[in-house]
Amino acid sequence: MIKKTTWRPLPDFLTIKESKIEGLGVFTTKDLPKGFDLGISHIFDKRFPDGYIRLPLGGFINHHEIPNCKANIAEEDMEMGKLRHIRIEALEFIVEGKEITIEYIINKLDNPNWEFEYEISQ
């Protein structure tokens, strides 16, 4: 028998859907205030490839040169104690339905105007 649980891969104020930036992205399902803590995106653990475990929040956040969130490295969590991890924080008020973005570089994009085109299409 499967026990009922309240665990969800993402908090109820976030969802994953198709992104105009790249593939799938993380989007708000309600307004989020500036400074809001969206949760943990990565947990550092040298036993895993790249030295961390990527959680659902970290796996679907897309890059943007003018992000609405930032990634903060923390050494402890109030509930879990000593745990090196990355938390995502809102840099501004984010309206319901907006894609969550942070600034990071993985690869260079073929279209140098992609961010301008993304902004006018929102």
Domain residue ranges in the chain: 14-121
Considering only CA atoms, give the Rg of the chain: 15
Instruction: Answer for the pair 31, 90: CB distance below 8 angstroms, yes or no.
Output: no
pTM: 0.77
113 pLDDT higher than 80: no
User: Residue 24 has which token pair?
Assistant: 């799938």
Alpha carbon distance 93, 71 (integer Å) = 16
Task: Quickly name the fold that domain 14-121 has.
Answer: Beta-clip-like (2.170.270)
- Could you give the CA distance from residue 86 to residue 75 in angstroms, rounded to a whole number? 9
pLDDT in tens, 16-58: 999 999 899 999 999 999 999 999 998 999 898 778 888 889 8
